Amino acid sequence: MQTLLRAIFIIFFISTSSNADSGNKWNFYAGMFDFSDEGKKSNLFGIQHINENLYRESFLGTLQPVTGAFITADNAGYIYTGFQIPSKSGALTFTPSFTPGLYSEGDGKDLGHVIEFKTEIQISYELSNDSEIGISYNHISNASLGDKNPGANSYMINFIKKY
């Protein structure tokens, strides 16, 4: 967990090439993993890369690729890649996403399979041309790939920055 936190701070504070037109966004987030399971809830910290230049228009809207990872205080971890569909209205952006990934339970909750699927909704507020603050909620499930599928519900506070 300390390694992930160091990486987040290094990327955030040392990256001096702030260029709002680069198309690269980083989402730094922290929250509560599986808040609905009193016995297994745990703090989580994560980072996600959003590449606005690789978007594709579809019947759903603008699809943007995302890749990220999080780790919990119980050393559970999830690494993922998928897409998000941002919808902007003034200073607010509503962003649903779908990101399949690989889960390791560490000392945390057994989700039943290494392959898990994360669906998320995020609402963010534009602070400036290159930064936003938001809240998000996600659900992780293995879609019954494993013998059990308990799932996990999490909420986070997000800071999104263009670099």
Mean pLDDT by 10 residues, the chain (163 residues): 53 47 87 92 95 88 94 95 96 98 95 97 96 98 95 97 90
DSSP for residue 73: T
The fold adopted by the segment(s) 2-162 is: Porin (2.40.160)
Tell me the H-state helices in the chain: 2-14
Predicted TM-score (pTM) of the model is 0.85
pLDDT at 14: 44
pLDDT at 2: 53
- CA distances from residue 23 to 13, 114, 135 in whole angstroms, order as listed: 19, 31, 22
Which has the closest alpha carbon to 80: 147, 36, 141, 160?
A: 141
- The DSSP string of 102-144 is EEE-TTS---SSSEEEEEEEEEEEEEETTEEEEEEEEEEE-TT
Which pairs with CB-CB distance under 8 Å and at least 24 residues apart come from 123-128?
Answer: 123/92, 123/93, 123/94, 123/95, 124/92, 124/93, 124/95, 124/158, 124/160, 125/91, 125/92, 125/93, 126/91, 126/92, 126/93
Query: Per the structure block, which two tokens stand in for 150?
Result: 């308990």
pLDDT at 15: 45
Nearest 5°: phi and psi at 41? Answer: -65, 150
